[in-house]
Amino acid sequence: MKAFVGLGNPGREYRDTRHNVGFMALDRIAEEWGIVFKESSKCKGWVGEANVGGEKVFLLKPATYMNLSGEAVRAFQQFYKVDLADITVIYDDLDTELGKFRLRYQGSSGGHNGIKSIIQHTGTQTFNRIRIGISRPEPGYGVVDYVLASFSKKDSKELAVVLEKVNEAMKFQLDHPFDQTMAKFNGQ
């Protein structure tokens, strides 16, 4: 069993914002895999599931807003009895350049409130992550305003390319351990 959790904020006003790239990644792979999301109050989010190449796959988009993402991850874990080692969290990263992504399996929150919440609710900093680069804002542009703003047309093109690569990494991970996935995709 594999589970992918995309971080973001619910609501139309946040749909195309930088902070919602985790949701965007899941929406793209759900379309490819024919997965439909259904609201789950037990999991505090939207859950989709399918059998992909013989592997049971879950997708979770928390409805708790970014800063409380850990509540949804913990509720999902408990409801479906999913080991944290089988979950990969996908989220935006200011410290990674737009158009790039990085995989890692442990570390601090790096100031990301969604990751901070997951660490609090799971009690560990060790879990699989795919960080999608959104770059830092220009000097004088507040971080909150930046992450809650939509991508420019130019940036949207770069985002589409990196989301396709993230989807390749997610598919690869179905048949390979996370460390092999990191070795193959880090540096792309």
Which structural domain, as residue segments, surrounds residue 75?
2-185
Q: Is the pTM of this model over 0.85?
A: yes
**Number of independent structural domains in the chain:** 1
Helix, strand, coil shares of the chain, percent, nearest 5, are: 45, 25, 30
What separation in angstroms does the CA of 187 have from each of 79, 112, 168, 183, 184?
A: 35, 22, 14, 9, 8
Check whether 187 has a pLDDT greater than 90: no
What's the CA gap between 116 and 99, in Å, rounded?
24
Q: Grade residue 69 by pLDDT with cuts at 50, 70 and 90.
A: very high
| Residue 88: closest CA among 129, 33, 131 | 129
Tell me the CATH number at 146: 3.40.50.1470
What pLDDT digit, counting tens, does each position of 25-66 carry?
999 999 999 999 999 999 999 999 999 999 999 999 999 999
What's the CA gap between 81 and 52, in Å, rounded?
19
Let me know: does 96 contact 174? Beta carbons within 8 Å.
no
Q: Catalytic residue positions?
A: 19
